[in-house]
Structures are given as C-alpha cells and as structure tokens.
Amino acid sequence: MVLRLYNTLTRAKEEFVPLDTSRVRMYVCGPTVYDFAHIGNARPVIVFDVLFRLLRHLYGEAHVEYVRNVTDIDDKINARAQERRGSRAILDAVRELTAETGRIYHEDVAALGCLPPTHEPRATEFVPGMIALIERLVAGGHAYESEGHVLFDVSSNPDYGKLAHRTLDEMIAGARVEIAPYKRGPMDFVLWKPSDETLPGWPSPWGRGRPGWHTECSAMSEALLGETFDIHGGGIDLVFPHHENEIAQSESAHAGRALARVWLHNGFLNAEGEKMSKSLGNFVTIRELLADWPGDVLRLNMLRTHYRQPIDWTVRGMNESWTILERWYEGAEPVASRRMGEPFLDALLDDLNTPQAIAELHRAEPEELAGGLVLLGFSPDPGRIAARPPIPVEEIAHDIEARNSVRKARNFQEADRIREDLATKGILLEDNPDGTTSWEVKR
Ligand code: AMP
Ligand code: ZN
C-alpha cells in the first residue's frame, strides 16, 4: 500500500516514505486563541485529522505522532485582551482569554469528530526554546539585533523562497512590506520584539520581550518532533510568509538540514460564494453552525471536496450532506467494522482523495461502509445525527409560491433551483395538471 501526497515544496505528488516507520511525525499549525474559530479554521483540523487516522491505520496507532500547537502569544490576543480587561492586569486578561478560547476550540473540534493530537504545545510553555533558537541564529550570522528587536536576515539564506517558489525580488515586489527603521532588508522578519510592562513579556538577552509567530512554531516542532520530521501542514495562506519563514529559521539553525520533508496545504473555504470575512458578515463560527447542524454533517460536508480545492460552503451543501448521512447511518452495520473496501482505501492513498472515497462508500456493502466511515472519523449510529427538524409547512408553502411566481415570469432556472433546494431538504414537488403544486416528504 503506497500513500502518495502532493508536496508543496516540489509541486508534485510523491510517494510518502517516513523517516522512521516506528515514529511517523506530523506538525500542523494550530489556532491563535483570541476568538471563536470559524468554519474555515475547521478545514485544516478536519483534513489533517483524516490524515492522522490514515497514518495510524497504515503504521499503527502507537507509531504516529501528531503535534498541533496553540498560539497563545500573539498581538491579536494582546489587542483583544486589552479591549476586555476592565480594571484587571493585562496578563490576567490575556490568560483568561486564551484559556477560554482554547477550551471552546477543543469542544468545537471534538464535536466535528477530530481526535486530540498527540501533543498540543502552547507557545507560552516553550519560550526558553525560542530564545535558544534565536541565540543560535544570531551566533551563526543569520539574525541581528536592532532597537530591541531581533530580525532574521533573509539574505543569509540562499534558499529563501523555495516553498513559495518565488525569488526574493518577486517577493519584495509582491508583498506589502512593512518598512521599519530597524530592518536591514525589506523582507527581514521579526524573531523577537520588545514588550513594555503592559504586554506579556519574558526576560531575554535582548531585554524583556516576546517571540514572533514564526519562531514559536519552529521552536515547538523542534522540541517535540526533532530537527527534521515527515509532514508539516496548514492552510494555503500559511505558505508565505509563515511556513517560508519557519523553514528559513529552522534550516539555518540546523546547518541546512530539512525542517520537514513533505509540506501539505489545504485550500480555502468560501461561504455562499464569497470570501469569508468579518466585514462581509458571513463569518460563520463553528459554534454557530453546531447549534443547527450535527458535527458529523459539517465533517462530511468538508470532506466531500478534495482538500486542495477551494470549498464553497453552502446551506444547500450541508442539507445534502445530512441526507447522505441519514441514509448511511441507517445502512451501516451497528457494530463498528474495521473492514474497508479496497477502492475506498486506494482513493485515500491517492493524496487523500476523500470525494472519491465517499463515492466508493455509496457503492459499498454495509460492513465496508461502516469500516470506511469509522476510518474517516464518523460514528455510524443513527443516534449521532438527530432527526432533522421538520421544515415548517409555511416555509414550504412560501417556497412553492415563490417558485410559481418566477415560473410565471418564465425564469425557469430560478424555479428549478427552488425545486432542487427543497429536494435536498427531502421535500418533493409535483406540479398538477390544474396548475396547483403538491408536495410530499421523502427522506
Ligand atoms: P489562524 O488561527 O488564522 O492562524 O488559522 C488557523 C488555520 O486555519 C490555518 O491553518 C489557516 O490556514 C486556516 N484557515 C484560516 N482561514 C481559512 C479558510 N477560510 N479556509 C481554509 N483554511 C483556513
Ligand atoms: Zn506554524
């Protein structure tokens, strides 16, 4: 059985060969804990949970180590804590915010069927390792101190840009470069920055301060997985600058030895055809969705798209996913089977092709269906997904009326859309010869 994965570093699908089959190691950048996670943030969590489960299936549960960090040192956290601190000390407000947000995150991703990773380091627990890493970079001529900051000198790293596949000049032209008087080169990035007394800070050779985000991940991955590990993952937006900078720091500190062999990135999630953003108001939190939709439905809806493709997240898609799960959970064997169909597993081995694997489940025997569902992180039990709330009759009547009026205006495309929309909710329409429309529930 050969697992093939698309490596952003080489831009090719490659056979996955672990450095050590008795210790397969994966690092995925986790959340910055200052606010509720949105459904886009859930995408890497679910995608890499499926990969974690597949690796455990292939190499044995005891032989896979998955690290997903918690970023609890960050300027967005400080700003949010400042807003809600009231009369409390800033550090207390930060601690309360990160603890509370972290707890909500754990509840949310557990409801989406994700296993806890093997290790979940918090940045605040690894500051000495970050300082040691920066000291090594300064000693090696890869970093310099300037006005209380320590910066990484990208000109010291000829490989800079190898993950993003861009040259330094292209990056300078394309980036919104922050001009700062303490930088030697425009792309140099912060490893350490000063904290005044109102901000979280740690003593260091460069004064009281705090690490930059990129440095946090490099130090935590080194502490838990070693200098070189197998897989590093995250969303596509992290390729540059976050992962490029992690590579530059770690490889410069480790005499050029690779940080990770395979770099995997999930595509972006858009909501109802638009880029999700707070200003658009389509910023759907996992928490809000879980109030109306079972976690398994959200999980299936995520996995129906290949992880490298963009997802358009829609209510319609969630309804379809619910219909599929209802059918599957009725058909699956109640005893969780471990048997899986070969075509199902082959699909997952081919760069985690979950839509193909799901297509194979539609054809699978009940026992193999259950085995496949368990591997994908579902719990095939009709009790897991509550009965779908009945659609109010007035809502159906309203939709039928809307459809009739667009039909009169000869907008048949819209009329079909309304009909299909109702069908995904299990409501089938029938147009009668006398011009009326009747409906029946079919689930
Ligand atoms: P953040 O907390 O913003 O650092 O994001 C945590 C993770 O969620 C990172 O791996 C991001 O790449 C990922 N992410 C953020 N927004 C989206 C989105 N709309 N679609 C897919 N992944 C996302
Ligand atoms: Zn990271």
Q: Is the pLDDT of residue 278 over 70?
A: no
Atom of ligand 1 nearest to the CA of 30: 6
- CA 225 / ligand 2 centre spacing (Å): 14
- CA nearest ligand 1 atom 14, residue: 41
Instruction: Between 169 and 204, name the one with better pLDDT.
Output: 204
pLDDT for res 439: 86
Select from 20, 23, 26, 21 the least CA-distant residue to 263. Answer: 26
Element (H, E) at 271: strand 269-271
Atom of ligand 1 nearest to the CA of 37: 2
Q: Is the pLDDT of residue 173 over 90?
A: no
Q: Is the pLDDT of residue 233 over 90?
A: yes
Q: Is the pLDDT of residue 294 over 70?
A: yes
pLDDT for res 346: 98
Domain limits, the chain: 4-266, 292-384, 393-441
Q: Is the pLDDT of residue 424 over 80?
A: no
- CA nearest ligand 1 atom 18, residue: 40
| Cβ-contact 366, 394 below 8 angstroms | no
Average of per-residue pLDDT values in the chain? 92
Q: What average pLDDT does the segment 425-431 reach?
A: 84
Q: Is the pLDDT of residue 443 over 90?
A: no
CA 187 to chain centroid: 27
> Looking at this protein, which amino acid is placed at residue 391?
I
- Residue 429 CA to residue 27 CA, distance in Å, equals 49
Select from 307, 317, 356 the least CA-distant residue to 44. Answer: 307
- Residue 45 CA to residue 29 CA, distance in Å, equals 9
Weakest-pLDDT range from 33-47, 199-213, 287-301, 412-426 = 412-426
pLDDT band (50, 70, 90) for residue 334: low
**Model confidence, pTM:** 0.90
- Residue 327 CA to residue 227 CA, distance in Å, equals 47
pLDDT, tens digit, for every residue of 53-69? Answer: 999 999 999 999 999 99
Strand partners, 345: none
Ligand 1 shell residues, CB under 6 Å: 29, 31-32, 40-41, 43-44, 234-235, 237-238, 266, 268-269, 276
pLDDT, tens digit, for every residue of 337-395? Answer: 678 999 999 999 999 999 999 999 999 988 899 899 999 999 887 777 766 766 778 88
Looking at domain 4-266, its CATH architecture is: 3-Layer(aba) Sandwich (3.40)
- CB atoms under 10 Å from CB of 3, counted, come to 19
CB hemisphere CA count around 252 (13 angstroms): 28
- CA 221 / ligand 2 centre spacing (Å): 9
Q: Is the pLDDT of residue 426 over 80?
A: no
Share of the chain above pLDDT 90, in %: 74
- CA 314 / ligand 2 centre spacing (Å): 29
Termini Cα distance of the chain: 38
- CA nearest ligand 1 atom 8, residue: 41
Weakest-pLDDT range from 46-50, 169-173, 268-272 = 169-173
Q: What average pLDDT does the segment 393-398 reach?
A: 85
Torsion of CA 38, 234, 306, 166, to 10 degrees: 120
| Cβ-contact 60, 20 below 8 angstroms | no
